[in-house]
Amino acid sequence: MTDSAVATTPATTPASLGEPALGPLDGRYRRSVAPLTEHLSEAALNRRRIHVEVEWLVFLGTHDAVPGVRRLTDGEIAFLRELPLRFDADAVTELGEIERVTVHDVKAVEYWIKRRLEGTSLADVAELTHLFATSEDINNLSYALMVRDAVGEVWLPAATGLVDDVARMARELRDLPMLSRTHGQPATPTTLGKELAVLAHRLRRQLKRIAAAEYLGKFNGATGTYAAHRAAVPTTDWPAVSEEFVTGLGLTWNPLTTQIESHDWQAELYADVSRFGRVLHNLCTDVWTYISLGYFAQVRGQGTVGSSTMPHKVNPIRFENAEANLEVSGGLFRVLEETLTTSRLQRDLTDSSMQRNIGVAFGHSLLAIENAQRGLAGLDAAPAALAADLDGNWEVLGEAVQSVMRVHGLPEPYERLKELTRGRKVDQAKLREFVAGLGLPEGEAARLSLMTPGDYTGDASALVDVLDAD
């Protein structure tokens, strides 16, 4: 018996902000995550169950898997395939009423379909509904289709749009020098664009993994042995039939399972989505820090209230909101990943409850993506602030000077620069005086004397072009 969960609102009906809601995704943030309800809500799950049951009935009526089953007409097939499309608010209510009697969600779907076949030309094949299928044959395919479409049609386009925005910012800021801060301390300069490019490149790598995810399905009976199939129709090649049906739904066939599909593909996908979230969390914390350093000005959206008491403030709330939601989604994805890969013996019901949280995990992830994207859209770089920071840290050129000294064989280059720069502020004049007394070849000394912290960015600008190959 699966746990009973009755859908009370159709996926297409958004809740208003004033409507009571236990969680923020169904209340405050409903509008932001509404596209996911078309795929990952309880109503969407039941709609997919109807879809899978109908497609199996169509399959039986168009193939020779079960001898003696008559061929369905084109009109009958069209009628059947309309059933999930007509799963509206009234249908949700009716299905809930059936489930209160069956106390079994998939059996309720079976009975709901059979009601639609009464009094039609399909009445004679009504008992083929759910033939040879255990609940998990229906559920695993339904979840695979739901998650596939939620990722492909909602989450992945949103995540890709965000990463494209980061890449665009990286290109626009590729040449803007910035003081690096390794361990939070002034370090070899870079460019703001290059650092954003690093994050865009990391995020795109995860998106490629997510886009290439496999969505597995099985259709092999109560313990994965085709036992009922063989008992009823021993002459049919049931593994071949199962493979054809599953792949016909657009999924990858899993040929060897217990009662449940093993959910390993889900664990793999959720690990990748969670890792994308951790990289995005890194972007949010870095950008938040750049804002606090004055490298970015939050200049757009000035009609908003930054602080209830301090008029001058514009708080980086979008990035803070994104961080929090990424932590929630990452925690849920990790729990899903860890839990779904274990099922006691041939089946237990932990996965039934856990999988109902897939939408919550993706919802918080989608909300984080939206907030990060909106936060980035409100930023302008502040070149003067970056330049002032560089000009206040001439000691970072110590690395360049000691490297040139090493190349030209001068004694104790590292130690001499450490003595000059460690724990001390070095200005342009002092550094030039040091360089002039080194005895370097004239051309090298002149080149070092002209170098500024803003010049010392190596190939940072050119490295942004790596994004063009992503």
Is 183 an annotated catalytic residue? yes
CA distance 192 to 207: 23
- Choosing from 4, 121, 292, 307, which is the catalytic residue? 307
Residues marked active site are found at: 183, 307
